[in-house]
Structure 1
Amino acid sequence: MVREGLPGTPYGEGVKIIKPPMASPIKSSEGMLVCNPDDPTEWGIFVNEDSSPERRRFTIAHELGHFVLHRAKRRTFNCDKAAVHLSLESAGVIEREADEFASNLLMPGDVLRDRITSQDVDLYLLSGLAKTFGVSFEALCIRFIKFTEKRAILLHWDNGFLKYEWRSRSAVLSNTRIRRLSDPAEPLRDTVAADESITQEWNGIDMSAAVWCVGEQPYMKLQEFKHSYGGRDRVLTLLILEDAEPRRWDNSWQDQESFDSFDQFTSSGQMPIRK
């Protein structure tokens, strides 16, 4: 186990023990990493006991990321739900780095890439992979977006409004963007996301890419997938588009986060650094 193996290695230098995870005393906290103020060789991890087992597992990996990458900077890390699991741009740099560490630890990129390139992708496949890796469905979908060679977009709707959007590298290079008619964005008319009678669409519905995306020709196709959570207030939309040539004038991909903390942790004898 990574937690038990870190002390005594160069990545846990000066630390004797990282205690087994305990229930967080702060309900608003998703996870905490703390150093014993009376013994700097002893560290502990706290997690939100009300979260699902998959989210707790990711949170523990996230806090281990802080231990490896950031403990020289501070002695206490208190991470709320906005900081863990999603790596949103609004989160702090160290939170995104810890999320990336956790994703690489729990969902190794080489294994995931092999699985998603050897067969057709649908939500059944992604759900099965989430169970294989022991992570949440949403975390696996985000990881899929980062590793797929397809033009793909993941949208998270919260009470009918867009909370976040992830685009794959191919989507960024081809300047593939959803059509936004409001701010914050709402599901577009004639889409599965907007159809309240459809709560789940795991096989995918074929439609013209122009329905969803700006600048797409009507003859270009996409598949729209949908997963609604229990209360229907949270919905995931996955769009997978036909291939298109990269538009060379779009350089926005260069601004994307490229830090791969766990890969650096496992392949380097030095502490990982952010590129």
Structure 2
Amino acid sequence: MNRFKNPYDYLKYFGVTDPKDICLDILSKGCDATVQYRMLTGCEGYIVGVKDSATIFVSNAVSISRQRFCIGHELGHWMLDRGTPRFSCKAEDIGGHKIFQKGVEARANRYAADLLMPEFLFKPAAVDMEMSFNSVRKLAKLFQTSIMATAIRLTRFGSFPAIFAWYDAKNGSRISCVRWPEVPSFIWPHEQLHHETYAMEVLCGKSTDSGGPKRIDASYWFDTRNAYDHDVYEHSIKGYGDLVLSMIWWKDESMLDELS
């Protein structure tokens, strides 16, 4: 059933019109794949395909949101990499923050993100929401997805300009970031966390949540020529593992207008 190489076609074919309709145990059967949950060693999920049917094995030791992304990831392999007898995916292969990389695993991650949080459902759900982790948590609960994957989706499909960046909690160095589509590509958060950011307080263990979006000098985050003349809003939290997650939001878009 390779007609579902586009996950949106997959969802629409089965009449999905609401996030609660994205029941992967049921949807997977529609493409001749069965999901089994069990204790796994050395990986969080794998798929075994024989002719036109497949079995997806998923670890029962991880969260529901993680299980769902694993299933979406393996379905991506089934739809896009048919003919390969087996994919065994380690924890480091699977994750919404790896959709921008290259290779078959990143492609499967993109498939999972589009399947679990399709644009035609996510955009209406996120419309006019503030660009903060308060919104991310609400959307993550609605779509049963992780904070990380949901934050990326909100940044891409939200209503307001923002950058979502994640930093190494051990040394404060930037790992990567995602921009709202109309934020200029030359705007990058600092490579090292500024000591005046709320993210630095999270990194230092003063809190696990900076307490919602708070106004902060834009120069603490960016080195553009006009950053000292503007403010942004920041919401930072402690992420999974050794990560600090930061959402930087422009309520006032004049800074971006001046740079355009």
Q: TM-score range by the shorter chain?
A: 0.7 to 0.9
Pick from 115, 122, 144: which aligns with 1:112?
122
C-alpha distance in 1 between matches for 2:228 and 2:148: 30
Q: 1:90 and 1:146, CA in 2 relative to 1: closer, same or farther beyond 3 A?
A: closer
Q: CA RMSD in A?
A: 2.4
> What letter is aligned with 1:138?
M
**Among the aligned pairs, what percent are the same residue?**
23
Counting only pairs closer than 5 Å after superposition, residues 198-209 of structure 1 correspond to structure 2 as: 198-209=207-218
In structure 1, list runs of 5 or more residues that go unmatched: 8-17, 181-185, 249-275
C-alpha distance in 2 between matches for 1:59 and 1:3: 12
SS of alignment partner, residue 232 of structure 2: strand
Verify: 1:6 aligned to 2:31, yes or no.
yes
How many residue pairs match? The answer is 226
Deviation per CA, 1:188-229: give whole Å up to 9, x if none.
Answer: 111111123232124211012121112143222211111114
With the length of structure 1 as denominator, give the TM-score of the two structures: 0.73
8 Å Cα contact 2:96/2:110 also seen in 1: no
Counting only pairs closer than 5 Å after superposition, residues 177-256 of structure 1 correspond to structure 2 as: 177-180=188-191, 186-195=192-201, 196=204, 197-215=206-224, 216-229=226-239, 233-241=242-250, 242-243=252-253, 244-245=256-257
8 Å Cα contact 2:35/2:58 also seen in 1: no
8 Å Cα contact 2:128/2:159 also seen in 1: no
Q: 1:32 and 1:70, CA in 2 relative to 1: closer, same or farther beyond 3 A?
A: same
SS of alignment partner, residue 54 of structure 1: helix
Query: Equivalent residue for 1:137?
Result: 147
Shift of 1:78: 1.4
Verify: 1:19 aligned to 2:25, yes or no.
no
Verify: 1:32 aligned to 2:32, yes or no.
no
C-alpha distance in 1 between matches for 2:199 and 2:124: 29
Q: 1:240 and 1:226, CA in 2 relative to 1: closer, same or farther beyond 3 A?
A: same
C-alpha distance in 1 between matches for 2:229 and 2:168: 31
Query: Equivalent residue for 2:108?
Result: 98
- Compare 151-160 and 138-147 and name the one that shifted more: 151-160
In structure 2, list runs of 5 or more residues that go unmatched: 1-25
Q: 1:226 and 1:100, CA in 2 relative to 1: closer, same or farther beyond 3 A?
A: same
Query: Equivalent residue for 1:268?
Result: none
**Whose helix fraction is larger, Structure 1's or Structure 2's?**
2
8 Å Cα contact 1:21/1:44 also seen in 2: yes
Query: Equivalent residue for 1:82?
Result: 92
